[in-house]
Amino acid sequence: MEPHDAVQAEILRAVGVLGSERVRAADARGRVTAASVVAGEDVPPFANSAMDGYALRAADTAGAHPDSPVHLAVSGALAAGRAPTVAVAAGHAIRIMTGAPIPEGADAVVMVEHTDSPGRPVEGATEVAVHRPARVGDHIRPAAGDLARGDEALAPGTWLRPAHLGVLASLAVTEVEVHRRPRVAVMSTGDELRDDHGPLAPGQIRDSNRPMLCALVAEAGGVPEDLGHAPDDEAEVVARLERATSDCDAVITSGGVSVGDYDVVKAVLDRMGVLRWWQIAIKPAKPLAFGMLGAVPVFGLPGNPVSSHVSFELFARPALLHMGGHRRIHRLAVEAVAGEAFRRRPDGRIHFVRVALEQSPGGAVARSAGGQGSNVLSAMAGADGLAVLPDGPGVDEGGRLVVLLLDGPPA
Ligand code: AMP
Ligand code: MG
């Protein structure tokens, strides 16, 4: 059996990063930058006040105290959006609001709470009593304190989240170069599958993997192309694979990669001369077929629904993220306390146990999400993460577990 990280590494070596396209910044959420975004202007564009208060000269406030305040003449008021018209002279202050530009002559802002102003009408006030000394720079946000013109605002490979769109807007960037999303053909295989919602004939089951895998592709930033389900027929599988590779960036199949008599995906990839087939030292999702049809990776995932999901998690998802230009392609691993015993037997494999996580004062607590059979999709659906049980006897209640989070940011 092959260690799963060696298989991950081999797959990542085989797949390439896709090219790029320009999109409107407004449409860029979830995309991945393909080039640096360099700041074309300073953010903020001018020094401004971080507080509502008084812009003044720090030296004028030396020794100020509530019992012996410093009295300054108020020579004006400045709201956000206004340009200063008068400078602050010695012995003077200007009433200033958050975001307003710091006027000439001022080198500090005193919060309104540290003056006699709160509660007093500000309009027309001619004098202010300052209760605390200010230091130079107090409550002043310097020009370019966030980004300076010429700074790399976004590195290539940045996964664009809402704050990034705000950063782009702060720089007046309206278009951004992003990696193409991988187009991923998804096909299930198996004579037993039905997807027409009708009554099941003896021996038939419903195709649960395909909608699940299409959704997993979309969550990994890809665009799923639903190829339907193929019977366990080599010619049919070949025809679909050929169609898929002509207009997709990757193909994901489920079923037909074990050691059964009708495991056609494995047989077909073998005949096409591209097969890598592993028995991986994990449970679930032991078998995996993989091949490059030209530049198009084909992931032959096992058919058991939980195995399909876990195999996608461990092998297809990092590869799709890599193709889409992501730099962080693995799940975040967190430590959790075992809320119950997780028993297992040594078998040379790492077990990925479906767990639900709950917050407790001592940190996250993990409990089994339900039946751990590779067909029990309802427990997969209830899982927040995969607890990693190394080969051995398992973990006692209260012990420490490493859990791969099934959503959240890539690590
Ligand atoms: P296989 O990997 O083809 O040997 O399939 C393993 C198990 O998963 C069998 O019980 C299949 O019936 C089941 N299975 C395969 N494909 C699907 C699917 N698309 N949806 C639900 N179950 C499936
Ligand atoms: Mg099958």
Give the DSSP letter string of 47-76.
Answer: -EESSSEEEE-GGGGTT-BTTBPEEEEEEE
CA atoms within 13 A on the CB side of 143: 9
Would the CB of 339 count as within 6 Å of ligand 1?
A: no
Residue 262 has what pLDDT?
A: 81
Distance 256 CA to ligand 2 centre (A): 4
3-state SS assignment for residue 141: strand
Surface-to-core class of residue 403, CB atoms within 10 Å of its CB (0-12 exposed, 13-18 middle, 19+ buried): buried
What span, in angstroms and rounded, lies between the C-alpha atoms of 239 and 272? 12
Task: Classify strands 53-56 and 108-111 as parallel, antiparallel or unpaired.
Answer: antiparallel
Closest to 99 in 3D by CA, of 147, 49, 141: 49
| DSSP label at residue 310 | H
Does CATH place domain 20-44+145-179 in 3.90.105.10? Answer: yes
Q: Which ligand has its closest atom nearest to the C-alpha of 207?
A: 1
Residue 123 has what pLDDT?
A: 64
What span, in angstroms and rounded, lies between the C-alpha atoms of 5 and 348? 15
Residue 119 has what pLDDT?
A: 57
Q: What top-level class would CATH report for the domain 333-405? A: mainly beta
Residue 323 has what pLDDT?
A: 98
Do 20-44+145-179 and 48-141 share a fold?
Answer: no
Residue 407 has what pLDDT?
A: 87
Would the CB of 190 count as within 6 Å of ligand 1?
A: yes
Q: What top-level class would CATH report for the domain 4-18+181-323? A: alpha beta
Give the pLDDT of the chain (411 residues) as one tens digit per residue.
999 999 999 999 999 999 999 999 999 999 999 999 999 999 999 999 999 999 999 999 999 999 999 999 999 999 999 999 999 999 999 999 999 999 999 999 999 999 997 655 566 678 999 999 999 999 999 999 999 999 999 999 999 999 999 999 999 999 999 999 999 999 999 999 999 999 999 999 999 999 999 999 999 999 999 999 999 999 999 999 999 999 999 999 999 999 888 899 999 999 998 889 999 999 999 999 999 999 999 999 999 999 999 999 999 999 999 999 999 999 999 999 999 999 999 999 999 999 999 999 989 999 999 999 999 999 999 999 999 999 999 999 999 999 999 987 666
Best residue for ligand 1 mutational test, from 212, 254, 264 (most atoms within 8 Å of Cβ)? 254
The greatest distance separating any two alpha carbons of the chain, rounded to the nearest whole angstrom, comes to 94
3-state SS assignment for residue 268: helix
What span, in angstroms and rounded, lies between the C-alpha atoms of 10 and 6? 6
Residue 261 has what pLDDT?
A: 81
Task: Please count the other Cβ atoms lying within 10 Å of the Cβ belonging to residue 294.
Answer: 8
Residue-range domain boundaries for the chain: 4-18+181-323, 20-44+145-179, 48-141, 333-405
Would the CB of 303 count as within 6 Å of ligand 1?
A: yes
Q: 287: which 2 tokens?
A: 């078998």
Distance 383 CA to ligand 1 centre (A): 21
Q: 194: which 2 tokens?
A: 């039905």
Give the closest residue (by CA) to ligand 1 atom 10.
304
Q: 320: which 2 tokens?
A: 């799709």
> Which CATH superfamily does the domain covering 48-141 fall into?
Molybdopterin biosynthesis moea protein, domain 3. (2.170.190.11)
Distance 221 CA to ligand 1 centre (A): 25
Residue 122 has what pLDDT?
A: 60
Closest to 101 in 3D by CA, of 72, 81, 87: 81
Atom of ligand 1 nearest to the CA of 210: 19
- Cβ contacts of residue 239 below 8 Å, gap of 6+? none
Sign of the CA dihedral running 20, 23, 25, 29: negative
For residues 97 and 79, the answer to whether their CB atoms sit within 8 Å is: yes
Q: Which letter, b or e, does each residue of 182-221 get, where b requires 16 or more Cβ atoms within 10 Å of its Cβ?
A: bbbbbbbbbebbeeeeeeeeeeeeebbbbebbbebbeebb
3-state SS assignment for residue 37: strand
Give the closest residue (by CA) to ligand 1 atom 12.
192
